[in-house]
Amino acid sequence: MDVARMNLFDLRRVLDAGEISAVELTSLFLDRITQLNPELNAFITVTGEEALHSAKEADTRLASGEGITPLTGIPIAVKDNICTQGVRTTCGSKLLENYLPAYDATVITKLKKAGAVLIGKTNLDEFAMGSSTEDSGYGLTLNPWDRQRVAGGSSGGSAAAVAAGMAPLALGSDTGGSIRQPSAFCGILGLKPTYGRVSRLGLVPYAPSLDQIGSMARRVRDLIILDHYISTYDPLDSTSLPEPPPEIGDFPRKLPGLRIGLPKEYFEEDLKPQIKERVHTVAQVLEKEGCVLVELSLPSLQYAVATYYILAWAEASSSMARYDGVRYGYRATGEQDVLNMMMETRKQGFGAEVKRRILMGTCFLTEGYYEDYYRKAQKIRALIKKDFEMAFTKCDLLLTPTTTVTAFKIGENFTDSLILTPTERCTVAANLTGIPGLSFPCGLIEGLPVGAQLMAPAGQEGILFQVASFCESVGVMPEKEAINGL
């Protein structure tokens, strides 16, 4: 039974029919991880023993017929900056190499309640600060489509794991596109939900006003189900939204008459022509179905990347202050006073990219720079939000590229400092405004996946699911997968 190629519906069917047990299913995925992970490096930690124990509990549920959900017995990979009780959470950093959280993140608690099986913790750029996993303290993750290229980041491990069939579903985190960009690079679906719809309790913070946990899958229906089971109001998260998530399959309106916005700023000269063609093909398919295409402009978008960097790095300088050698993780030894101990701990424990972002963020917050950078960035963020609110009075959702380039070659991150900007330009606005964004594959260019992105007003994930489901049903998403070559 080739479970690696099966979607959630098929996995659910064979489990419920007793054709395979949860333990057997988990073992097959663990075997696939053993086979592929030494090369792809998608997982930092594989939770084999714990996963089989959870699978046994799922089998007990299945045998009794009680407490069964669509996720019961289904293996799920989790990005390694989401806390898992008793399972190390490294955040891709050597500083937290042996850190064992004392509690589960809320999303993990909900998945366990649903009977899901945590199969491992996936690779990421250190503390989610990067766009390629090249800044991970545990080595980079390779793209399953082309081993000479990156899987993207910072949720590159989760994206590669799903694309390669090492897990049917995965969780990632998205601060400026860290779910959507690697999903586009690896040819899968990735959702950044509305800010506050998924609890951030237990997500190790990078930039708290931007961070959001989200779902990754190879099929739209699978993505919808995973998103449903992690979405909740959490009284322990002060940013959590009280509104319940939409029911599975509860779409707000029919496709004909839906207004699809095409912001011109997303289709300008730095966009690879073939990507522009693929996204326009999606627009034409939707137009034939009765959608109305609306051309519009988001003038403030030109400032989005700079605004994102200033705010994210400023928040990072505060978030990283907790790693002082006293409370968490690694501590430098041999120092005689506390100050030097803290300095050496951070000097030895943090990687170069994390240090760079902390230093830049601290600079933006210091006297003399605060007004010119941080406060101005907050004002521009408000302006960007107003532009998007205005756009959504003219359309129901936006269609854009997810990235302006396909997955770049390993090392280009370091040889060309501008290579990352095109991979983030299309995604950061959703984080700055708090709206949901969904990336889905819409074609191939020279054998590499292309991602299209849908964005909707806050709380309107249902519209994104509806459009993505239609695109999947009419063949906009390519049938070829990375798994075909593995």
pLDDT in tens, 206-243: 999 999 999 999 999 999 999 999 998 999 999 999 98
C-alpha 313/C-alpha 364 separation (Å) is 8
Those residues whose C-beta lies under 8 Å from the C-beta of residue 56, and which sit 6 or more positions away, are 22, 23
Mean pLDDT of the chain: 94
Residue 446 corresponds to which amino acid?
E
pLDDT at 413: 61
| Angle ∠(404,408,411) on CA atoms, nearest 5 | 140
C-alpha 390/C-alpha 297 separation (Å) is 10
When pLDDT is cut at 50, 70 and 90, the band that residue 252 belongs to is low
Name the active-site residue from 21, 54, 79, 173.
Answer: 79
C-alpha 429/C-alpha 91 separation (Å) is 24
| Cis amide linkage into residue 154, ω under 30° from 0 | yes
When pLDDT is cut at 50, 70 and 90, the band that residue 249 belongs to is low
Is the Cβ–Cβ distance between 189 and 220 less than 8 Å?
Answer: yes
pLDDT at 423: 74
Which two structure tokens, joined as six digits, stand for 283? 């627009």
* Residues shown for the chain: 486
C-alpha 35/C-alpha 371 separation (Å) is 53
C-alpha 167/C-alpha 87 separation (Å) is 18
C-alpha 284/C-alpha 292 separation (Å) is 10
pLDDT at 290: 95
Scored b (16 or more CB within 10 A) or e, 43-79 reads bbbbbeebbbebbebbbebbeeeeebbbbbbbbbbbb
Is residue 253 predicted with pLDDT exceeding 60?
no
Percentage of the chain surpassing pLDDT 90? 87
C-alpha 15/C-alpha 211 separation (Å) is 35
C-alpha 281/C-alpha 264 separation (Å) is 16
pLDDT at 243: 81
59-81 mean pLDDT: 97
276 is catalytic: no
pLDDT at 149: 97
214 forms beta bridges with: 172
147-156 mean pLDDT: 97
Domains, the chain: 3-256+461-485 (3.90.1300.10)
What's the number of CA atoms in the CB half-sphere (13 Å) around residue 259?
Answer: 12
Is residue 250 predicted with pLDDT exceeding 60?
no
154 is catalytic: yes
When pLDDT is cut at 50, 70 and 90, the band that residue 417 belongs to is very low
Higher model confidence: residue 424 or residue 315?
A: 315
Q: Model confidence over 380-403: pLDDT tens digits?
A: 999 999 999 999 999 999 999 999
Between 13-27, 49-63, 230-244, the lowest mean confidence (pLDDT) is in 230-244
Is residue 185 predicted with pLDDT exceeding 90?
yes
Name the active-site residue from 27, 93, 131, 154.
Answer: 154
Structure-token match 């430098």, residue found = 332
Name the active-site residue from 136, 178, 231, 240.
Answer: 178
136 is catalytic: no
Is residue 329 predicted with pLDDT exceeding 90?
no
117 forms beta bridges with: 75
